[in-house]
Structure 1
Amino acid sequence: MRKVFFILFALLLAGGSSSFATKWPELNPEKVESRSQVIVLGTYNFKSKQKSSKGNFYGRQFQVEKVYKGKATETITAGIDVYDKGWAEEYQQDGGKFLLLLEKTKEARFLVPVAGPNGMVQVQDGRILSGHEGFYGKILSGEARTPSPAESNNDGGHLLEALLFSLTGLITFLLIIRFLATEKAKSY
């Protein structure tokens, strides 16, 4: 009986441990490039406020230096896998940059790297470090545009906040007027 208890206890411990990593299938670079809607070179701002999503990604500000495909402003919100922040931040502190191949997904309201690390190509001193140097090197040496100037209302949330604030003020004003009108009527 004691052996059965220990075996069950060991199985519970083994079955209760959770995995803290995501596994992405490796895609060939042609597939990654074809799925991407935006390709940019730059760095994440890990001090910026993160934005949540329904999937494995959260959004961070990304400082765009060059645009190779699609449209991007100087600062965009780009996704990063929740388990990639540590190494990516350390990599950037050592002078690294990322060539991000980004796509839209249903899980996030911002662009995310194609298949996680497949869409995060490591670049340092103008050289590709993360494999497929020939393919991604052609993108890096290809025609690049400068990002368009940052828009004053980049994420659209400020307009909604302003409308809600104005509506709250209007309702408060109308309630005060009504209260004053009923008090004035009672004084007669």
Structure 2
Amino acid sequence: MIEGKSSMRKVFFILFALLLAGSSPSFASKWIELNPEKVKFRSQVIVLGTYNFKSKQKSSKGIFYGRQFQVEKVYKGEAGEIITAGIDSHDNGWAEEFQQEGGKFLLFLEKTKEARFLVPVAGPNGMVQVQADRILSGNEDFYGQILSGEGRTPSPSKLNEGGGNLLEVLLFSLTGLVTSLLIIRVLASEKAKSY
């Protein structure tokens, strides 16, 4: 009888341990480390700046969420002062802490099928950590050359990649409305002349 209780306890503890292990899935993403030359080659836009973690996040079909990103310098491609840049949903915590400590990101961004905004090349490979104008993520020589290179200021008129400029949208809508009203007026006046 005692042996039966001991076996029951072992089975209970094993089941309990399996239940706990199964209920706490790992949320870490695994990315293959790319050499910096490949990261640069794949990127369509390279910018330096910070994420706005208070901004409303945009969803995608993949693991990336879009966040507002305040651009300080543009090293490749075109970018406005504020763009929507992807961030792996598992990187929000450490990235926000890093920025609170004065950190910035040199982002190597590319277009993907899963998102309507640019995302970092291979997740953390495209998110190079910068603090006090120094590269902290590794490959300091390669990324340091980009950082010390000729960066441009972002274009103020381009508010958001793919989002359009509100003033342009309003002007286009107003032009369409005026054109429609003129056509209706011309047709109405011709109809009145025919009687």
The TM-score, its normalising length taken from structure 1, stands at: 0.77
SS at match of 1:41: strand
Q: CA RMSD, aligned part only?
A: 2.5
| Paired residue type of 1:63 | Q
Distance 2:28 2:21 in 1: 17
Say which is worse superposed, 73-82 or 90-99, in terms of deviation: 90-99
Report the secondary structure of 1:122's partner residue.
Answer: strand
- What does 1:93-108 correspond to in 2, within 5 Å? 93-108=100-115
Q: Which residue of 1 aligns with 2:132?
A: 125
Match of 1:84? 91
| Whole-angstrom distance in 1 between the partners of 2:76 and 2:165 | 26
Q: How far has the Cα of 1:9 moved from its partner?
A: 4.4
Taking structure 1 as reference, are residues 63 and 15 closer, same or farther at Cα in structure 2, changes over 3 Å only?
A: same
Counterpart of 2:69, as a letter, is F
The residue type equivalent to 2:70 in the other structure is Q
The number of residues matched between the two structures is: 162
Give, in whole Å, the separation in 2 of the partners of 1:17 and 1:153. 38
Matched residue, 2:59: 52
Query: What is the CA-CA distance between 1:127 and the residue it aligns to?
Result: 1.1
- Return 5+ residue gaps in structure 1 as ranges: 164-188
Give 1:152 deviation, angstroms: 6.1
Deviating above 2 A after TM superposition, structure 1's stretches of 4 or more consecutive aligned residues are 1-17, 150-154, 156-159
Task: Check conservation: 2:36, 2:142, Cα contact below 8 A.
Answer: yes
Indicate if the aligned counterparts of 2:82 and 2:159 stay in contact, CA closer than 8 A.
no
Aligned to 1:95, what secondary structure does the other structure show?
coil
CA displacement, residues 115-160 of structure 1 (integer Å, 9 cap, x when unaligned) = 111111111121111110000011111122111113467614976x
- Tell me what 1:178 maps to: none
2:154, 2:121 → 1: CA distance? 20
- Partner SS state of residue 53, structure 1: coil
1:68 corresponds in structure 2 to 75
Q: Offset of 1:36 from its aligned partner?
A: 0.6
Structure 1 equivalent of residue 40 of structure 2: 33
Q: Is the 8 A contact 1:75 1:150 kept in 2?
A: no
Q: Which moved more, 1:37-46 or 1:81-90?
A: 81-90
Distance 2:22 2:40 in 1: 39
Q: Which amino acid aligns with 1:90?
A: E
Seq. identity, %: 79
Distance between the aligned counterparts of 2:165 and 2:14, measured in 1? Answer: 54
Q: 1:54 to 1:129 in 2, by over 3 A?
A: same
User: In the aligned structure 2, how far is the partner of 1:157 from the partner of 1:19?
Assistant: 40
